[in-house]
Structure 1
Amino acid sequence: MQRMGMGLVGPGFVAAHHVDAVRRLGFVDVVALAGSSDASARKKADAWGVPKAYGRYQDLVADRDVQVVHVTTPNFLHDPVIRAALGARKHVVSDKPLAVSSAEARGLWQAAKDAGVVHAVTFNYRGNPLVQQARDMIAKGELGPVHYVHGQYLQDWLLEPTDYSWRLEPDKGGQSSALGDIGSHWCDLAEYVVGARIQSVLSDLTTVISTRMKPESTAEAFATAGTQTRREVAITSEDLASVLLRFDNGARGA
């Protein structure tokens, strides 16, 4: 199989898992990283054994050794980074959610289609063996028709008022937090297993912790609170979402 060069934009928490996963494939070389500065990118590149480091994603996209771009930036940067990669006819693997609005997502899908490249979003739960078995059993009709789909996605991350993430900030993570960030995983999983598309929704979005203590300096996802200085900020994005669903095969869900 022909070897492929991979470049990654946004070397934060989840990026390490992308690098590890593609290296396990055996035919992909991680050749470049792009971060928020030359120094931060170089630091991560040295730590992960990546030869090239860029402080601008545009330079990574222009690198001829990069054939596929993995995008693991905060959500609001997905659109410009992905559009740049597609404009250069590079394959794209984006972390979820793909975009911060349906209009952005449709635009990226059309741009990828026009570019004629491989494009994917990392809904990684699809690869779980139990998920694969459930999907196969339903597709073969072994369980009969699906009438109702029920599930939940619970996390204790962000459980305390001292827990904080850029995902809570609408200008970075998008207007939706719980539903857009981890709910997107659940919705994709439901569609994938059932083999039907969600057609309509009725949601109740709630902000349980309306005030949080934001650290003065940034930290990667799931980092410990530490002893750094914090300030009180108001939270408007939801941390609890309840959703009723209708699928295009007539099934209901919640």
Structure 2
Amino acid sequence: MRRIRIGIVGVGNIGLAHLEAVRRLGYAEVSAVAVRDAGRAAALCELYGIPRYYTDHRELLADPGIDAIHDCTPNREHFSINRDALRAGKPVISEKPLTVDSVQSGELVELADRTGLVTAVNFVNRHYTAVQHLKGMIENGELGEIRTVHGEFLQDWLLEETDFDWRVRSEIGGPSRAMADIGSHWLDLAAFLTGRRVREICADTAVFLPFRIEPDPSGASGGRRVPVDTEDYGAALLRFEGGIRGAFTISQVSPGRKFGLTIQVDCSAASARWCQDAPDRLWIGRREKPNEDLVLRPELLNLRSRSVHPYTGKAERWPDAQKNMIDSFYRSILEGAEPVHADFRAGHEIVRVVEAAMESGRRGGWVPVS
């Protein structure tokens, strides 16, 4: 396999996670980054041994020594950077959400179809071994016919008025925060496991902290109190294709919850539950026999999950799923492998569901996903 040369646009918190995951893949290397602050870019290159940097993403896209792009910028920038990457003939992996509205995401899907380039959206949770194993169980008919899917994604990192991040500002993060930021992860899992699209949604959203303290850019103590219009909380009922029903709750103001992602699929023969807090386990519930708490040792894995299990006999965590996701993207580019990851079309579907959820939250009642 030839080496693949990567350019990363935006190297903040999630950009560094991408960088570290790439470095774990022996056939990939980060060849350049695009960061607006030249001083920070130079420091990153020195620290991580990256050959070059740019302060404009368009210069990075014009670099013939770059084979694929990682877009790790804030939400409002995703559309233009993803579009520019495809126009430049570069396969691209975008952070989620793909865009801040479905008009933009639909345009990216059309552009990806025209160019034939490989695309991806970083919905990392479908790349855990246990989630892949559960998908295999569903495909093999081991659980029966899917009837319902439900769960939650709870965090506490924006609990206080003094908790601030660019995501709370709609002019940067987009009109939705909790739904688009973490609800999108849960919705992708539900779509992946069921293999069905959401047809209708009935949602409720709430802003519990209409004002937050934005830190002083200089680093001085204090800050200014600014209005916030992005939601802290959301809950929704779902109607999927094929009659499947669903429900989920998301919150970024739930004390004690850090990354509380849980999903349960209830089928005609058994239920299965996966929690991100214990990512190498699956709970299987049955009516006529004892329930099972599966710890997924290599000898228990099905064909689908065996290919992504990181290390024999070792526990798996978030960085492993991130690596698996990026590996799927690269192998689709280099080998034409069938993608496990979500592509731009899948990302577009999630944008549409989030958009419908926010509309339902505003006006009440069921809203079609169209």
Q: TM-score range by the shorter chain?
A: over 0.9
Q: Please say if 1:239 is aligned against 2:232.
A: yes
Between the aligned partners of 1:43 and 1:201, the Cα distance in structure 2 is 46
Give the structure 2 partner of residue 149 of structure 1: 149
Q: Alpha carbons of 1:69 and 1:149: their partners in 2 closer, same or farther (altered >3 Å)?
A: same
Give the structure 2 partner of residue 25 of structure 1: 25
CA RMSD of aligned residues (A): 1.4
Give the 3-state SS of the residue equivalent to 1:151 in structure 2.
Answer: strand
Between the aligned partners of 1:228 and 1:4, the Cα distance in structure 2 is 45
For residues 13-53 of structure 1, the C-alpha deviation after alignment (integer angstroms, 9 at most, x for no partner) is 00111111122221111000001232222222222221111
For residues 96-155 of structure 1, the C-alpha deviation after alignment (integer angstroms, 9 at most, x for no partner) is 110000111111111111111110001110111221121111111111111111100001
Q: Do the aligned partners of 1:37 and 1:56 also contact (CA within 8 Å) in 2?
A: no
The residue type equivalent to 1:159 in the other structure is: L
Give the structure 2 partner of residue 174 of structure 1: 174
Structure ranking higher on relative contact order (CA contacts 8 Å, 6+ apart): 2
Give the structure 2 partner of residue 86 of structure 1: 86
Between the aligned partners of 1:36 and 1:77, the Cα distance in structure 2 is 13
Of structures 1 and 2, the larger Rg is shown by 2
- Structure 1 residue 189 displacement after superposition: 0.6
Between the aligned partners of 2:151 and 2:12, the Cα distance in structure 1 is 29
Give the structure 1 partner of residue 8 of structure 2: 8
Between the aligned partners of 2:44 and 2:111, the Cα distance in structure 1 is 30
Runs of 4+ displaced beyond 6 Å? none
- Structure 1 residue 158 displacement after superposition: 0.7
**Aligned-residue identity in percent:** 41
Between the aligned partners of 2:222 and 2:114, the Cα distance in structure 1 is 48
Between the aligned partners of 2:213 and 2:162, the Cα distance in structure 1 is 5
Between the aligned partners of 1:81 and 1:41, the Cα distance in structure 2 is 18
**Unaligned residue ranges in structure 2 (runs of 5+):** 248-370
Give the 3-state SS of the residue equivalent to 1:7 in structure 2.
Answer: strand
The residue type equivalent to 1:90 in the other structure is: K
Between the aligned partners of 1:185 and 1:105, the Cα distance in structure 2 is 16
The residue type equivalent to 1:23 in the other structure is: R
The residue type equivalent to 1:246 in the other structure is: R
Give the 3-state SS of the residue equivalent to 2:92 in structure 1.
Answer: strand
Give the structure 2 partner of residue 253 of structure 1: 246
- Structure 1 residue 251 displacement after superposition: 0.5
Between the aligned partners of 1:131 and 1:92, the Cα distance in structure 2 is 24
Between the aligned partners of 2:79 and 2:47, the Cα distance in structure 1 is 28
Q: Do the aligned partners of 1:96 and 1:121 also contact (CA within 8 Å) in 2?
A: yes
Give the 3-state SS of the residue equivalent to 1:153 in structure 2.
Answer: strand
Q: Do the aligned partners of 1:246 and 1:253 also contact (CA within 8 Å) in 2?
A: yes
The residue type equivalent to 1:157 in the other structure is: W
The residue type equivalent to 2:197 in the other structure is: R
Any residues of structure 2 matched to 1:1-254 within 5 Å, and which?
Answer: 1-217=1-217, 228-254=221-247
| Count of aligned positions | 247
- Structure 1 residue 227 displacement after superposition: 6.6
Give the 3-state SS of the residue equivalent to 1:209 in structure 2.
Answer: coil
Q: Do the aligned partners of 1:75 and 1:172 also contact (CA within 8 Å) in 2?
A: yes
Q: Say which is worse superposed, 163-172 or 34-43, in terms of deviation.
A: 34-43
Between the aligned partners of 1:228 and 1:8, the Cα distance in structure 2 is 33
Q: Do the aligned partners of 1:97 and 1:184 also contact (CA within 8 Å) in 2?
A: yes
* TM-score, scaled to structure 2: 0.65
Between the aligned partners of 1:204 and 1:227, the Cα distance in structure 2 is 38
